[in-house]
Amino acid sequence: MVSDFSALSARIEAWAARREFASFVSILEPNSVDRILDVGAGYGWVSANVAGLCGELLALEPDRKRVRHIRRNHPSVKVMLAVAEFLPFRPLIFDKIYLKRSFHHFTDQEAGLKEARRVMKPEGILVIQEVSPERQGKLIKLAERWLRRAHVNFLSLDDLEVKLESEGFHAYYSKPAPAGFFLVANKKTNQTLPSRF
């Protein structure tokens, strides 16, 4: 049952990602010199397709089974088992970071944003795609809690903008997406960066 559910989840994720990939890429604007971090890579379809459009892509996923799936089905993707709240990188190394339908899974959303800010270059951008709690969030929340026993915390666009601002980001662009929204932010420039290393 679990492997059947995983295979079905991978197919659904790829279908949804294909449907909105052009919009996502037009917002991310990857180029050949970008070093990009995918936080919460899922089954890796987006990572595999963005990797071919940028200089380097690193994918993080906290689920061991999904990491194995990515390694088996997308061998060109550099994937690591890691959580958003503790990114295993030195500060200021990524040009772009994206959280594609993964932010609602962060156990500590503030810590995840602090870590993203820490590893992002001063001129970098953060792209978040999330499901709107007003649209499909309630149904997805119920399904994920029942099927995967997963933690989920969906935020509205306004609440996410407030959270980003409180963690040192400036949200400067948003766009509707299927069942939710895209939000783009950069670093506020008048704050010092925390350092763990």
User: pLDDT digits over 44-78, tens only?
Assistant: 999 999 999 999 999 999 999 999 999 999 999 99
**What letter does residue 190 receive in the DSSP assignment?**
T
**Cα separation, 2 vs 36, whole angstroms:** 31
| Structure confidence by residue, pLDDT tens digits, 159-188 | 999 999 999 999 999 999 877 899 999 998
Is 47 strand, coil or helix?
helix
Could you tell me which CATH class the domain 2-187 is placed in? alpha beta
Position of tokens 């407030």? 162
Q: Where are the domains of the chain?
A: 2-187
**Cα separation, 37 vs 56, whole angstroms:** 9
Kindly report the pTM of this predicted structure: 0.86
In terms of DSSP H, where are the helices of the chain? 2-28, 45-51, 64-73, 109-119, 138-143, 157-166
